[in-house]
Copies of this chain bind each other. A is one copy, B any other.
Amino acid sequence: MNLHPMKLVTIVVEALARERITTLLAEVGAHGYTLFSVEGAGATGRRIGDIEEFANIQVEVVLRPEAAERLLARLGEEILPRFAMVTYESDIRVLRAEKF
């Protein structure tokens, strides 16, 4: 078995920010991500209803530590001032094929 230490970055953000986020992920060299719709309430205290335009998405991204740092820095500079977002990082070990 072949486990590599990596970072998982989780981004909960207004669905309106979707395009910006996926572009950002490509730019920082994300290895893979998943994206799904969620309900929720953020630190701002506002609740998100069923209306599509105001729906939240949760994006989970696997990255090397340097790439995670670049992503978090850019999220802080470019997304956090403009959109309701909660973002956090955690430590994971990713399964790799022997050939990697």
Give the interface of A toward B (CB within 8 A): 1-3, 6, 8, 10, 12, 31-43, 56, 58, 60, 62, 69, 72-73, 75-76, 80-81, 86-95, 97
Known: A36-B39, A43-B32, A86-B62. A1 touches B93 (CB 8 A): no
Check B34–A56 contact: CB distance below 8 A: yes
User: Closest residue of chain B to A4, judged by CB?
Assistant: B88
Check B32–A12 contact: CB distance below 8 A: yes
Q: How far is the CB of A81 from chain B (nearest CB, A)?
A: 7
Bound Cα distance A55, B86 (Å): 26
Bound Cα distance A10, B6 (Å): 13
Bound Cα distance A32, B62 (Å): 22
Q: How far is the CB of A44 from chain B (nearest CB, A)?
A: 8
Q: How far is the CB of A74 from chain B (nearest CB, A)?
A: 10
A87 partner residues in chain B, CB cutoff 8 A: 94-95
Check A80–B95 contact: CB distance below 8 A: yes
